[in-house]
Copies of this chain bind each other. A is one copy, B any other.
Amino acid sequence: MTAKTAFARNQWYVVAYGTEVGREELLARTVCGEPLVLYRTEEGAAVALADRCVHRRYPLSASRLDGDRVVCGYHGFTYDTTGTCVYVPGQRRIPRTARVASYPLVEQDSFVWVWIGDPALAATTAPPRAPWLADPAWATVSGMEPLAARYGLLVDNLLDLSHETYLHGGYIGTPEVAETPITTEADDEHNIVRVSRRMADAACPPFYAKSTGIEGRITRWQDIEYHAPCLYQLHSRIAPVGVLPEEDGSDPNGFHTEIVYAITPSTENTTYDFWAVARDFAQEDQEVSDFLHKFNREVVLQDVTALDLLEKIVADEPDSVQELSINIDTGGLAARRILRRLCEESGTAEGTAEGTAAAARAAR
């Protein structure tokens, strides 16, 4: 565990839900140490600009829109959607260097993704998908909780679900989660870690019993797919004990839940914890949706409380403190290894978050 956080640059990150970006208020978010301001044009396109006026560093998020342009609230420097300055006070000539960075942006699956790194490289790759979240065949609840902890602690947390039994006992945890061994697979070429836990005969968490109508014990599968650095998917399948998918791969008797997290590093010690839960059953049942939103948010807040506490501990400890890893940590350790490589590849291996952000600014 290092006391400093490195960021993987030249990557797509979720910065917001599409519904959070509008015209009434400018949205300020910091991703990988870079301050961004987000808004929509009159035609509805989302825009992400660097949130610092070139003149005296005033945050554009504390400004206002004039049509599709942002007018700085301090001295009126005005920027168009490409970040080019189109007005300065007291003179007609606009300096040629007067522009702020504009960030490549993709909207899909209910998320707004921004590219952090060299904009010229954005077209070389696409953000990973989470199609269920915007698919009318699925019912989705979602939210975002800010975390006062480095993003690595959330990656650790989500890659090892044995904590469900203890931190989320009575919610989504049952004894079988901690007891059942996992299989782990690291796909270093595509930066994906897969962790699979297949419980053939497990207690049914009360929520699932209620929303699926299953009585008695269940077959419960938890198949994690982590697309480093930002997107985490937990493919969850439950069914009465012994009920498996058909030979052709279809699964009419299973109940499927897609639990999606976007793990977005904000600063060295803060993280955006986007969470969404999509299901292919009881889609029309508003009571189930309401309950699931409340319930899953409580589970996320249990993690937030634990990780905020843990951040204070690791932030105070020297780098030399040892952890003790066991089998359940295989997925988390694979994720750390891939993240370390992604940081190295973006030139910030030994760098800190501060260094990264400074490098980013210098590079522009």
Do A89 and B179 have beta carbons less than 8 Å apart? yes
Do B57 and A313 have beta carbons less than 8 Å apart? yes
Do A91 and B321 have beta carbons less than 8 Å apart? no
A313 touching B179 in the complex, CB below 8 Å, given contacts A75-B163, A95-B326, A163-B74: no
Asked if A123 is at the interface (CB within 8 A of a chain B CB), the reply is: no
A276-328 interface with B by 8 A CB criterion: 306, 309-310, 313-314, 317-318, 320-328
What number of copies of this chain does the assembly contain? 3
Asked if A362 is at the interface (CB within 8 A of a chain B CB), the reply is: yes
Stretch at the interface among A48-56, A108-116, A217-225: A48-56
Do A162 and B76 have beta carbons less than 8 Å apart? yes
Of the candidates B74, B75, B167, B320, which one forms a contact with A362 in the assembled complex, judged by CB atoms under 8 Å apart?
A: B320
Q: How far is the CB of A9 from chain B (nearest CB, A)?
A: 17
Do A317 and B57 have beta carbons less than 8 Å apart? yes
Do A76 and B166 have beta carbons less than 8 Å apart? yes
Do B58 and A306 have beta carbons less than 8 Å apart? yes
Do B55 and A324 have beta carbons less than 8 Å apart? yes
**Cα distance A180–B90 in the bound complex, in angstroms:** 6
Do A178 and B328 have beta carbons less than 8 Å apart? no
Do A74 and B327 have beta carbons less than 8 Å apart? no
**Cα distance A128–B57 in the bound complex, in angstroms:** 32
Could you say which residues of chain B place their CB within 8 Å of the CB of A88?
A: 326
**Cα distance A325–B91 in the bound complex, in angstroms:** 12
Of the candidates B91, B318, B323, which one forms a contact with A55 in the assembled complex, judged by CB atoms under 8 Å apart?
A: B323
Do A306 and B74 have beta carbons less than 8 Å apart? yes
Q: How far is the CB of A354 from chain B (nearest CB, A)?
A: 7
Do A90 and B54 have beta carbons less than 8 Å apart? no
Could you say which residues of chain B place their CB within 8 Å of the CB of A317?
A: 57
Could you say which residues of chain B place their CB within 8 Å of the CB of A362?
A: 320
A54 touching B324 in the complex, CB below 8 Å, given contacts A73-B167, A162-B76: yes
Could you say which residues of chain B place their CB within 8 Å of the CB of A181?
A: 90-91
Asked if A182 is at the interface (CB within 8 A of a chain B CB), the reply is: yes
Asked if A62 is at the interface (CB within 8 A of a chain B CB), the reply is: yes
**Cα distance A229–B264 in the bound complex, in angstroms:** 45
Asked if A68 is at the interface (CB within 8 A of a chain B CB), the reply is: no
**Cα distance A309–B88 in the bound complex, in angstroms:** 22
Asked if A124 is at the interface (CB within 8 A of a chain B CB), the reply is: no
Q: Mark A76-87, 1 if CB is under 8 A from B, else 0.
A: 100000000000
Could you name 11 residue pairs across A and B whose Cβ atoms are closer than 8 Å?
A54-B322, A55-B325, A57-B310, A57-B314, A57-B317, A57-B323, A62-B306, A76-B162, A89-B165, A98-B324, A320-B358
Given contacts A55-B325, A89-B165, 18 further A-B contacts (CB under 8 A): A55-B324, A56-B156, A56-B310, A57-B313, A58-B313, A62-B306, A74-B306, A74-B310, A75-B160, A75-B166, A75-B178, A76-B166, A90-B180, A90-B181, A90-B327, A91-B326, A97-B324, A320-B358
Q: Which 5 A-B pairs have the closest CB atoms?
A: A89-B178, A54-B324, A89-B162, A90-B328, A318-B358
